Structure 1
Amino acid sequence: MNWVDFSSNAFVVAFYLYCASFICFAIAVGGKRWSNRKPEDHVNRWGKIGFAGAVAGWIAHLTFFFTRWYGGGHIPTSNMYEFMTFLAMAIMFAFIVVHLIYRNMLLGAFALPLVIIIVSYASVFPSEVQPLIPALNHYWLKIHVTTAALGEAFFAVGFAAALMQLIRVVDYTRKDKAGKRAQFWTEFSLVVIIVLIGFLVAVFSFRGAGYESVFRQETITIDANGIANSEVKEVKYSLPPIVAPYNSETVSFQSFIGMDKQLFDSPSWLKGVNAGRKLNTVIWSVIAGLVLYGLLRLLARKPIAAVIQPHLTDIDPEDLEEISYRSIAIGFPVFTLGALIFAMIWAEIAWSRFWGWDPKEVWALVTFLYYSVYLHLRLSRGWQGTRSAWLAVIGFLVVMFTLIGVNLVIAGLHSYAGV
């Protein structure tokens, strides 16, 4: 049996089960007003079906993880495809744990879309099993990466609950500056999520159409002895090049709606792996996301948060805040162990130093300090309600920049994760 192919099939099954689960949770949230049953009966019925689908999807996802591990010969967390699929599986595990504790049927309507987006994002990267580079070929890889991802997964559930809380409490009848500011930033949070969906729409649309442009890029590096080394490589684009790689020439350019050359080159200070191509992807994601948001606004004729809010009126905001806080409180020590303590032990083994100010190390420390401040402000300074919720939402944006943005902006020892 080809275990890698079997794992890919299990991954597809998990994805469709997650989608079906989200649909059930969406029916539980949005359909209760049109049900002949009591609202709470409707929510419980479809919520239980959705949760069962989520558990079944997680089991399929777990099957994917272990069969790929067995078929590939190493734990599947060594590149962006494998790490993001593991992160999605960890978020589902965190959601299941939090759901079993609090029995909130509606949290899945916000947690499942996040998992689906991350799974879809992982599918953008090459899915072939790649051999481990020497620095990764150690058992501390299993300990460091899995615990760090599990901590981030609980942060993600805290983010989902906090976003629900913000949408639930925003007052659209207020016309003062404070009220409008709350409405704007709540809507902006949803726009960020829609931009992520726009990224998926853009990538899969152009990939399905077979779009490709190619550039030849020359990269010059200076070694420790001051000697310049030149490397020439081809960079393939699956989206129309608005931004070309820095210091590159065109090999082939597929025209798109009259655009037969790039608009500008990537700035030289973007040092991440394939930074020009990634910046181009970010720009297309924003364009596609804003177009998608505009279409949704035309259909709804009011802010998206204002469409969602009436379906959350039966939820107590204090319950959502408790879920968010408890999720982060669980995730914080796990993340601290995985992303800092275990990471430093592994760094000593792999690179003979505990700390080297690598960009990913720095941002892991920033994430740790941020959530330390969150817990301090909530426990010692009494920051609760919307202030606590906003801290949880912003915190997860810091996590996502640590996972994705660092590879775009700065090159470092962890840049292999962007391949």
Structure 2
Amino acid sequence: LVRWHESYLLRPDAGHIPVSNLYEVFILFLVITALMYLYYEGRFAVQKLGGFVFSFMAIVVGFVLWYSVSREAHAIQPLIPALQSWWMKIHVPANFIGYGAFCIAAMLGIAELLALRKEDAGKKSWLPHSQVIEEVMYKAIAVGFLFFTIATILGALWAADAWGRYWSWDPKETWAFIVWLNYAIWLHLRLVAGWRGKVLAWWAVIGLVITAFAFIGVNMFLSGLHSYGTL
């Protein structure tokens, strides 16, 4: 919020919501992830899972600090023409609600695997029961999938407005579809096929790799219409 305000102080004609480059969306990602986890922690009383989620976030914070110092990424820049659209204000936040939820689910997947290991060995675990962890993980993925679907639809509408076509199989679009398909299958297996336990936990953990590549890997290794921020 401070950065958003300061963008107008520095450039009244170029102030913008801070979601236009990797540095800014990393900050948005951290805020969204923290708020979402705190909600689930309060809703399900699973305070002991905070160590998994916030340890992951601490690593991200370390990366953001490095990125800021080494690349001076914290400098507020005017928007490039392609991003001067009100679509950005709704498409990007919706996208990162999905990313945040999927990352929470991955950390809960690790916690569930540890809890299952203790339960299978007949030992008492300091973690909540694995079924409770999986329920929270399911809720996170369900919410993330909903918002990621909305973000994808909004992105298609923005693409039609900006480029004259809804979908072009740009690398970012392609990997967004892969992420969406990954969690669509996860939800199908749980809700329709009735899968539970280790398979879904591992699936959520591996999903973090897919999500991370869609988030930053595309910017690092691929180029396309969405190449607005690089490492």
Q: Scaled by the length of structure 2, what TM-score is found?
A: 0.89
| Letter of the structure 1 residue corresponding to residue 149 of structure 2 | T
- Report deviation, 1:122: 2.1
The whole-number CA distance in structure 1 between the counterparts of 2:221 and 2:170 is: 13
Q: Which runs of 5+ in 1 are unaligned?
A: 1-65, 175-309
* Residue 142, structure 1, aligned to residue 89, structure 2: yes
Instruction: Verify the 8 A CA contact 2:115 2:127 in the aligned structure 1.
Output: no
Rg: which structure is higher?
1
Aligned counterpart, 1:342: 154
Q: In structure 2, which of residues 179, 192, 198 is the aligned counterpart of residue 380 of structure 1?
A: 192
1:155 to 97, 102, 120: 102
Quote the offset at 1:80 in angstroms.
Answer: 0.8
| Residue aligned with 2:47, SS | coil
What SS is found at the alignment partner of 2:195? coil
Q: Quickly say closer, same or farther: Cα 1:417–1:314, change in 2 above 3 A.
A: closer
1:323 maps to which of 136, 155, 162: 136
CA contact (8 A) 2:171 2:222 kept: yes
Residue identity over aligned pairs, in percent, reads 36
Which residue of 1 is the match for residue 11 of structure 2?
none
Corresponding residue to 1:98 among 36, 40, 51: 40
> How many correspondences in the alignment?
217
* Separation in structure 2 between the aligned mates of residue 155 and residue 364 of structure 1, nearest angstrom: 13
> Are 1:362 and 2:174 matched, yes or no?
yes
Q: Does residue 57 of structure 2 align to residue 115 of structure 1?
A: yes
Q: Which residue of 1 aligns with 2:183?
A: 371
With a CA cutoff of 8 Å and minimum separation of 6, indicate the structure with the bigger relative contact order: 2
- C-alpha displacement at 1:317, in angstroms? 0.9
- The answer to whether the Cα contact below 8 Å between 1:85 and 1:118 also exists between their aligned partners in 2 is no
Which residue matches 1:389? 201
Q: Distance in 2 between matches of 1:84 and 1:324?
A: 22
Amino acid at match of 2:93: T
Output aligned runs, 1:40-51, within 5 Å.
none
**Counterpart contact for 1:84–1:122, Cα < 8 Å:** yes
Point out the structure with the larger helix share: 2
Distance 1:385 1:348, change over 3 A: same
Measure how far apart 1:312 and its partner are: 4.1
Whole-Å separation in 2 of the counterparts to 1:364 and 1:102? 30
- The one of 213, 219, 224 equivalent to 1:401 is 213
CA deviation profile, 1:328-370 (whole Å, cap 9, x unmatched): 11111111101x1011111112222111111000000000011
1:131 to 72, 78, 81: 78
Amino acid at match of 1:393: V
Structure 2 counterparts to residues 50-69 of structure 1, below 5 A: 66-69=1-4
Cα deviation, residue 119, structure 1: 2.1
Return the alpha-carbon distance in structure 1 between the equivalents of residues 19 and 61 of structure 2. Answer: 14
Paired residues for 1:294-313 under 5 Å: 312-313=125-126
Cα distance in 2 between the residues matched to 1:320 and 1:99: 11
Q: Paired residue for 1:84? A: 26
C-alpha distance in 1 between matches for 2:91 and 2:133: 30
Contiguous gaps of at least 5 residues in structure 2: 8-14
| CA–CA separation in structure 2 for the residues paired with 1:76 and 1:314 | 37
- Indicate if the aligned counterparts of 1:82 and 1:122 stay in contact, CA closer than 8 A: no
- CA distance in 1 between counterparts of 2:227 and 2:127 reads 45
Query: Is this contact kept in 1: 2:95–2:147, CA < 8 A?
Result: yes
**Closer, same or farther in 2 for the Cα pair 1:311/1:94, shift >3 Å?**
farther
Where does structure 1 differ by over 3 angstroms across 4 or more consecutive aligned residues? 310-314
Counterpart residue number, 1:23? none
| Distance (whole Å) between structure 1 residues aligned to residue 55 and residue 183 of structure 2 | 24
Kindly state the Cα deviation for residue 97 of structure 1 after the two structures are TM-superposed.
1.6
Larger proportion of strand: 1
CA distance in 2, matches of 1:328, 1:406: 22
Corresponding residue to 2:146 among 327, 333, 336 = 333
Which whole-Å CA distance do the structure 1 matches of 2:144 and 2:33 have between them?
11
Asked if the contact 1:86/1:149 (under 8 Å) is kept, the reply is yes
Are 2:49 and 2:127, in contact at CA under 8 Å, matched by a contact in 1? no
